[in-house]
Amino acid sequence: MSVKPVRQVTPPASRIWLAGIGATALATGANAGWLWICVNIFHWEIVVPEAFQSAVYVDATLLRVTLATAIAGVLATLVAVGLAKLFIGPRIWFLAVGLGGGLASVYGALTLVNLSFTVKFSLSVMHLLATFLVVLPIAEALKIRDSDLHRADVRYHEHLESKNGDDSTLIAGTTAATSGSVIDNQQNLNETLVVPTDTATPDASADGSSSSS
């Protein structure tokens, strides 16, 4: 089984998923802790939109905050895996997309209508925590390391060895087939029937007797 050559050096998807899951868990815990501080220490009444771009607000429960942060982390991880396999330099692309989307969500939290400044501030902090705690660790996992270069080099040489082995087998098979056909032709030539010279003797004696007479 031949190994395809590597067109670009890419970080392994397993490392990205591990970083994404760990970063998502960290961001979820941070947002849950911030919500607990806002409610139990600052005594703020925190609300969130019921759905995306919804004007209806509901209480920001621990379940809602945890679920929203987890979904954001999983989506960011999926984007990182896709960028790693499709683009050269995926770390720069992910930083641009992740930080841009995170800052856009912060702006959206600050511009929510019919909410107090404390609620907007607390929600913007949650978005900032989720953005930096998720984006930065995943971006670090997207960095091309020496081990990635070594793995790509090994795969490339395995491909070359496999290709050279296939070519050698093809050449050997062609040579064997050619040699076999030459031998067969030689055997056919050797097996060609030759007319014995004895058949020409009666004519010769007959000619001799007629000439003598």
**DSSP of 166-196:** HHHHHHHHHHHHHHHHHHHHHHHHHT-----
CA distance 168 to 121: 70
Q: Which residue has the tokens 């000619």?
A: 207
CA distance 145 to 213: 110
Domain coverage including residue 147: 13-152
In a domain, 37, yes or no: yes
In a domain, 95, yes or no: yes
Q: What is the pLDDT of residue 193?
A: 47
Residues 152-169: pLDDT tens digits?
Answer: 777 766 767 787 765 566
Structure tokens at 193: 């029937």
In a domain, 18, yes or no: yes
Q: Is the pLDDT of residue 109 over 90?
A: yes
In a domain, 159, yes or no: no
CB within 8 Å of 141: residues ≥ 6 apart = 11, 15, 16, 18, 19, 20, 80
Q: What is the pLDDT of residue 153?
A: 72
In a domain, 188, yes or no: no
In a domain, 173, yes or no: no
- The count of domains in the chain is 1
Q: Where are the beta strands (DSSP E) in 45-94?
A: 47-49, 57-59
Residues 115-127: pLDDT tens digits?
Answer: 999 999 999 999 9
In a domain, 61, yes or no: yes
In a domain, 80, yes or no: yes
Read off the pLDDT of each residue in 142-161 and give the average, rounded to a whole number. 78
CA distance 4 to 10: 14
Q: 3-class SS at 61?
A: coil
Q: What is the pLDDT of residue 166?
A: 59
